[in-house]
Structure 1
Amino acid sequence: MLWLTEDAVLICDHGGQVGIKPTQTLVRIEDRQVLVDDDPEHRNIRHCPNTNPVVGLRPCLNTLGVREGYSTLLTVEGDPVCLDSVRGLTDGSPPGIVNYKVVEPGQPFVTADS
């Protein structure tokens, strides 16, 4: 599994793009900050097309907690590194069903088993 950097692309199930904001500055890959625990959480989602107020559909606006994808072995200053297996739910509708996931890790070099 590849480590995620600030150039990673995460999307909701509908194709909306998750805003990335790295929180640590110590570890970089090719001068790009590595993402760690909670960097993908509670982030804005832009351009989610899942909207139809008439039938009660609302677009994904924010990511919720990560359900899987943090390294169990590797940390930066105590925070687990994000891997390209990161997945979690969004606040979009229907509630509790819509996921966000990694489509591009931001770098092709550094890997980890988990």
Structure 2
Amino acid sequence: MPFVVTTNARIVCIHGGQVQLAPKQATVTIQGAPVLRETDIMGAPIVGCAQPPTISSKPCTTVVAVLPGGSAPTVTAGGMPVHTDVLSGMTDGVPPGTVMVVSPGQTTVQA
């Protein structure tokens, strides 16, 4: 079973850029860190992407899509499904990059 993702998670783009996590809820927490829900990653800024800017490339700066399968539809926080550590998504980089969970931020609660 995958782990629920919190704001202590480490989510990165394929080039090593860090996704900045800002939850839209703070009521449901695990080990003091808010749980991330379906709407929390979409649009999140990315800092430190190592993709060099050239005529044909651009660093990742924002998560533009979250791919299906990264949420637990039966586990909710505030009525919305929570993200799990199998979360993946796409960035605005050129060529488009991907984001993935390196660490869920906790290893207690599974969904």
So what's the TM-score if we normalise by structure 1? 0.90
CA deviations on 1:77-114 (whole Å, 9 max, x unpaired) are: 2110010011010000113xx110100100010001xx
Do the aligned partners of 1:38 and 1:65 also contact (CA within 8 Å) in 2? Answer: no
Mind listing any 5+ residue stretches in structure 1 that lack a counterpart? none
Find the aligned partners of 2:100 and 2:13 in 1 and give their Cα distance: 7
Determine the structure 1 residue equivalent to 2:53. 52
C-alpha displacement of 1:52: 3.4
Residue 38 of structure 2 corresponds to residue 37 of structure 1: yes
Q: 2:94 maps to what in 1?
A: 93
| C-alpha displacement of 1:31 | 1.2
Identity rate, percent: 36
Separation of aligned partners in 1, 2:48 and 2:41? 17
| 3-state SS in 2 of match to 1:89 | strand
CA distance in 2, matches of 1:90, 1:46: 12
- Greater share of residues in strand: 1
User: Is 1:111 matched up with 2:106?
Assistant: no
Give the equivalent residue in structure 1 for 2:11.
10
2:24 corresponds to: 23
Moved over 2 A (4+): none
SS at 1:85's partner residue? Answer: coil
Using the size of structure 2 for normalisation, the TM-score is 0.93
Aligned partners of 2:78, 2:93: CA distance in 1, in Å? 32
Counterparts of 1:76 and 1:52 in 2: how far apart (Å)?
A: 38
- Give aligned pairs, total: 109
C-alpha displacement of 1:20:
0.3
Cα root mean square deviation, aligned: 1.0
- 1:47 Cα deviation after fit: 0.7
